[in-house]
Chain A
């Protein structure tokens, strides 16, 4: 079945700098890749997604890239702000429409 690996597990970034979180997946049949943000005391919330027929998608300070050949996808946050501090999960949708999550990245934005 599908397996998603996510790195790094923890990331500290100076406010204003960029943050990059990387994921790989195993099943070439996966075609939809959502990213979730989990703030303290809340459940994961969808923040951006990308389909396999798209190489890059951007929404304000957040962008996702997808390399289908290498089975890599990444989340880029630019001009980071304190409210970006959270746990971020990448995911891939498996052949049977299950959300397969990565282990998560705890992002700390340093003042």
Chain B
């Protein structure tokens, strides 16, 4: 069964450093998403991406964040200058279409620890 993959599984970085989290969505999917889950809190929507541009972004997704689809398979989330409060689990998801949000397939997540 096809699945979304993410690398690395755990990333430790120092405050102020840039990080890039990588995702490989399911190959025939057209819509891509990033979510964040701070420890003990809810999974929160960050951004959606379609047709090589951001479709929607939440208020969390400020100028420190950017997303890119550098080639036909990868989808990345970059945090330019990490803060302690960026420590969280980051999930990538993809879906074939936009009409059924419940049919987004989630990756296993990258745990980001900012020290």
Contact = CB atoms under 8 A, between A and B. Distances in A.
Return the 10 tightest CB-CB contacts between A and B, nearest first.
A43-B106, A34-B102, A101-B43, A44-B106, A101-B42, A49-B102, A42-B108, A43-B107, A99-B101, A43-B108
B104 interface: yes
A73 interface: no
Interface string A40-55: 0111111001000000
Interface residues of A, number: 22
B4 A43 contact: yes
Contacts, number: 51
Given A46-B102, A46-B103, A96-B56, A89 B108 contact: no
Interface residues of B, number: 22
Give the interface centre of B42, B45, B56 by most chain A CB atoms within 10 Å. Answer: B42
B25 to A, nearest CB: 12
Contact of A98 (B4, B101, B107, B109): B101
Interface string B73-104: 00000000000000000010100001001111
Contacts of B102: 32, 34, 46, 49, 91, 93, 99
A93 B107 contact: no
6 contacts: A42-B108, A93-B102, A96-B56, A97-B98, A99-B102, A101-B43
Contact of B108 (A34, A41, A46, A102): A41
Interface string B37-74: 00011111100000000001000000000000000000
A58 to B, nearest CB: 17
